[in-house]
Structure 1
Amino acid sequence: MTLHIFSQLVLNWYHLNGRKNLPWQRDKTLYRVWISEIMLQQTQVKTVIPYFKKFISKFPNLNSLNNGTLNEILYLWSGLGYYKRAKNIYETAKIIKNKFNGKFPKNILDLVKLPGIGKSTAGAILSFTLNYFFSILDGNVKRILIRYYGISECLKNTKTEKKLWNLIENITPIHNTGAFNQGIIDIGALICTSKIPKCNICPLNTKCIAYKEKEWKKYSFQKNTIKKIKKKYWFVIIYFQNTIWMQKNTIKNIWNNLFYFPSFEKKNDAIQWMKKNQINVKNIKEMNSFCHEFSHFTMYANPILIKLFFKHNCFNTKKQGIWYNLNKPQKIGLPKLVEKILKLLI
């Protein structure tokens, strides 16, 4: 199959079956497509749609986004995960305002320098919005190329990454680039899926090596997966008159810039912390523990509830913390795990 036929098959399939009515595909602008592409990084379309709608309703353009705070952005992002993406959006908006006079850059060399926008994301923004001739190489496209060409070497190898870029850049058509890019993404998302692909209806199956060999598992991202480590955390839920004490995470790890409960890797450390802050540990109530999954580890959460009869001086808003009101919740970024625990309290 020539490269021309490959791209034409993708385009033909897209015109008949491709997704053309997603929220960011309507009233298309560089800004809207940028927000969608950042949200779609490592996240499925069906998950992103409600978050995108909520985000655009609050921040319909760059000007409104620049008038918002990081806390407001994180509040809208709560539950979507990979929170660094939200901070990247916040920082990128400031850079565009200061360096590009508030106008979204159309030059790929400018785009790739912005936080959270790599070569593939920049190509997606420019090809989807302006039909510029730039290729994309997200997880869906990689999976198709790996199976189609029977690439079995280490997927995280720099050499393999370069090979995949060379392949997709040779396949991408100069005309109808945006439609082709969307088409190959859709084939990856809807047909050439990571688990049980629908090879019999794939428009590329006649020359696909994985299909010929009936070995789609052999050409998969699942190889060399690292077994998740397990971590235990104890969370101290300090309750006072329908408010919960939460602190802001300023350390660069999970939940950066989000609010959560005081946490400890050892139960004894949690007990000692409460004693140090003059909390009567005899009144604590251990809630049901539960498992919470992250991309790289599994957390076993153990919430400890303590009800105060008066506010201790050690809990004040000057120490990067707030009293979160359960009746009138503040608009702040909360991890999904925190939301799970809060639901148990209401």
Structure 2
Amino acid sequence: MTTYFFSQLIINWYHKYGRKDLPWQKNKTLYTVWISEIMLQQTTVKYVIPYFKRFILHFPNIRSLDKSKLDDVLYLWSGLGYYNRAKNIYKSVKIIREKYNGKFPDQFLNVIKLPGIGRSTAGAILSLSLNFFYPILDGNVKRILIRYYGIMSTVQDKKIEKKLWKIIESITPIYNTAQFNQGMMDLGASICTRINPKCQYCPLNKKCIAQIQKAWDKYPLKNKKKIYPNKLFWFVVIKYKYNFWLQKNTQKNIWNNLFCFPQFNNEKKALNWLQEKKININTYQKMISFSHKFSHLILHIQPIIIELTHISQLHEENQKNIWYNLKNPQHIGIPKPVQRIFEIFKKDIFKTRIIKL
């Protein structure tokens, strides 16, 4: 199959079956496509949609985003994960103001210099918003190429990535680049899926090596099963009515710049900290423990709860320590495990979830 017919089949399929009503596809601008592409890094379209809508509602343009605080951005990002993406957006908007007069750049070499943007993301932003001729190579596109050309490789293989870039550069059409790129992403997301692809509906199935061999499960090769390290955190949930004590995490590890419950490596350290704060540890109770998976580790969380009789028992409130009000929440970034605990209290069912000592 010539490169022309490959690209034409994708474009024809896109016009008939592709996604055209996603929030960032309506009234497209460089800004909105940029935000969507950053959000979509390592996150599914379905999960991103409500976050994108809320983000654009609060920050409809670069100027409004530039006037915001990092806490405001992290607040809207809370629960989406991979918070460095939000920080990169915040850093980028300052660069855009200083270097590009507050307008998102439309030159590839300028776009790729912005924090958190690589070759594929830069190409996606410029092709999808302006129809510029730039190929993309995200996970979906890699999977299609590996199966179609019968390349025995994993998706993450850096050596093969150079080969895949050469292939996608040769088959991406000069005209209708946006439709082709979107079609490739949509095909990978809906037809050429990682598990149980719908090969019978694929426009490329007649020449696809994986389909001809009836061996889609061999392409791409599976990565070696990753062994995740395990870590234990004790969360100290200090509560006064609808107020909860949170600390801003300033350590450059997980949840940097997000507000969390005080966290410790073991129970003894947690109780010692409470004693230092002159809080009666005889009143604490354990909540049900749970796990939270990161891309690099599994975190096991054991929350303990203490309810204060007077808010003045803990009064070191400042920019790094706050009483978070569940009825009238402050605009701050909160990681998903903290949100998960808050949901228990919001439903007012926490008494049934606590295990008495």
Q: Which residue of 2 aligns with 1:53?
A: 53
Question: What amino acid is the match of 2:50?
Answer: P
Amino acid aligned to 2:189 = A
Residues 1:154 and 1:47: Cα distance change in structure 2 (over 3 Å): closer
Shift of 1:256: 1.6
Superposed, 1:138-177 pairs within 5 Å as: 138-177=138-177
| Contact 2:239/2:307, CA 8 A, preserved across alignment | yes
Q: Is the 8 A contact 1:240 1:311 kept in 2?
A: yes
Rounded Cα–Cα distance in structure 2 between residues aligned with 1:102 and 1:242: 41
Distance in 2 of aligned mates of 1:24 and 1:319: 35
- Render the CA deviation track for 1:67-93: whole Å, top value 9, x for unaligned: 111111111111111111111111111
Shift in Å, 1:150: 1.6
Shift of the 303–221 alpha-carbon distance from structure 1 to 2, 3 Å rule, reads: farther
Matched with 1:305 is: 305
Superposed CA RMSD: 1.5
Q: Is the 8 A contact 1:143 1:221 kept in 2?
A: no
* Within-5 A mapping of 1:65-144: 65-144=65-144
Where do 5+ consecutive residues of structure 2 fail to align?
Answer: 347-357
Deviations 1:194-227 (A, max 9, x none): 1111111111111111112222221136422312
- Check conservation: 1:235, 1:261, Cα contact below 8 A: yes
Cα distance in structure 2, aligned partners of 1:281 and 1:319: 26
Q: Does the C-alpha gap of structure 1 residues 90 and 192 become closer, same or farther in structure 2, counting only changes over 3 Å?
A: same
What is the Cα deviation at residue 310 of structure 1?
3.5
Residue 31 of structure 1 corresponds to which residue in structure 2? Answer: 31
The offset of 1:233, in angstroms, is 1.4
Q: CA deviation at 1:231?
A: 2.3
The answer for the alignment partner of 1:331 in structure 2 is 331
| Cα 1:141/1:154, change in 2 over 3 Å | closer
Task: Indicate if the aligned counterparts of 1:14 and 1:179 stay in contact, CA closer than 8 A.
Answer: yes
1:232 and 1:301 in contact (8 A); partners too? yes
Counterpart Cα distance in 1 of 2:88 and 2:324: 26
Query: How far apart are residue 293 of structure 1 and its match?
Result: 2.5
Matches of 1:326 and 1:55, distance apart in 2: 21
Q: Number of residue pairs matched?
A: 346
What is the SS of the residue equivalent to 2:216?
Answer: coil
Name the residue aligned to 2:42: 42
The normalised TM-score by structure 1 is 0.96
Moved more, 295-304 or 166-175: 295-304
- The 2-side partners of 1:130 and 1:153 are apart by 33
User: What are the Cα deviations for residues 15-61 of structure 1, in whole angstroms up to 9, with x where unaligned?
Assistant: 11111111111101000100110111111111111111111111111
- Superposed CA deviations along residues 270-299 of structure 1, whole A, max 9, x for unmatched, are 122222222221111111112222233222
Q: Which moved more, 1:39-48 or 1:214-223?
A: 214-223
The answer as to whether partners of 1:6 and 1:204 remain within 8 angstroms in 2 is: yes
The residue aligned with 1:260 is 260
Work out whether residues 279 and 313 of structure 2, in 8 Å CA contact, stay in contact via their aligned partners in 1: no
In 2, distance between residues paired with 1:242 and 1:10? 54
CA deviations 1:246-285 (Å, max 9, x no partner) are 0111122221211110111212221222222222211111
Aligned counterparts, 1:172-211, within 5 A: 172-211=172-211
Would you say the 8 A contact 1:124–1:181 is kept in 2? yes
Query: 1:235 aligns to what?
Result: 235
Please state how far the C-alpha of 1:66 moved relative to its aligned partner.
Answer: 0.7
Are the counterparts in 2 of residues 234 and 302 from structure 1 also a CA contact under 8 Å?
A: yes
* TM-score, reference length from structure 2: 0.93
- Note if contact 1:245-1:315 (Cα within 8 Å) is conserved in structure 2: no
Could you tell me how far 1:317 is from its partner in structure 2? 2.6
**Counterpart-to-counterpart distance in 2, 1:23 and 1:52:** 8
Is the deviation greater in 317-326 or in 260-269? 317-326
Q: Distance in 1 between matches of 2:162 and 2:312?
A: 58
- How far is the alpha carbon of 1:153 from its aligned partner? 3.1
**Paired residues of 1:194 and 1:221 also in contact (CA < 8 A):** no
Separation (CA, whole Å) in 2 of partners of 1:100 and 1:38: 20
Segments of structure 1 that go 5 or more residues without pairing to the other structure are: none
